């Protein structure tokens, strides 16, 4: 079991920056693929960024060059740095932990979500 708690959402102007953080419980954090997803009103949840402990990252094309994901396994934390945000980045952002490689297909966990609104 892993519990995820996000923080850092809020209202930001277009072109501004925001940093989301997610803290995970448990002592096997480093073995999980950590990621951020988002869901805008009326749309499906979509991948924003993922990162494995070895450093390999994956970013959605829509955020490449603007967002960056990082993790600190000692602090059980994964962060999403959002720069040059756009109105279309408005969504609820969810932290995700994927432990299926080591712990089976049920080892998928979601945070409660944090709202990000980009508006002037």
Task: Give the pair of three-digit tokens for residue 7.
Answer: 């923080």
Q: How far apart are the C-alpha atoms of 120 and 73, rounded to whole Å? A: 36
Q: How far apart are the C-alpha atoms of 12 and 3, rounded to whole Å? A: 27
Query: In which order are the strands placed within the sheet that holds 18-24?
Result: 4-7, 18-24, 77-82, 67-72
pLDDT tens-digit map of 50-95: 998 888 999 999 999 999 999 999 999 999 999 999 999 999 999 9
**Confidence tier at 18 by pLDDT (50, 70, 90):** very high
- Contact between residue 80 and residue 37 where contact means Cβ atoms under 8 Å apart: no
Task: Give the pair of three-digit tokens for residue 103.
Answer: 């712990």
């Amino acid at each position: 079991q892993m519990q995820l708690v996000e923080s850092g959402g809020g209202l930001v102007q277009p072109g501004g920056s925001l940093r989301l953080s997610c803290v995970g419980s448990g002592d096997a954090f480093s073995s999980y693929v950590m990621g951020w997803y988002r869901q805008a009103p009326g749309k499906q949840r979509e991948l924003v960024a993922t990162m494995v402990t070895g450093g390999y990252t994956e970013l959605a094309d829509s955020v490449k060059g603007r967002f960056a994901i990082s993790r600190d396994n000692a602090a059980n934390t994964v962060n999403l740095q959002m720069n040059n945000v756009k109105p279309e980045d408005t969504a609820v952002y969810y932290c995700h932990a994927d432990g299926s490689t080591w712990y089976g297909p049920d080892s998928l966990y979601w945070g409660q979500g944090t709202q990000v609104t980009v508006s002037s």
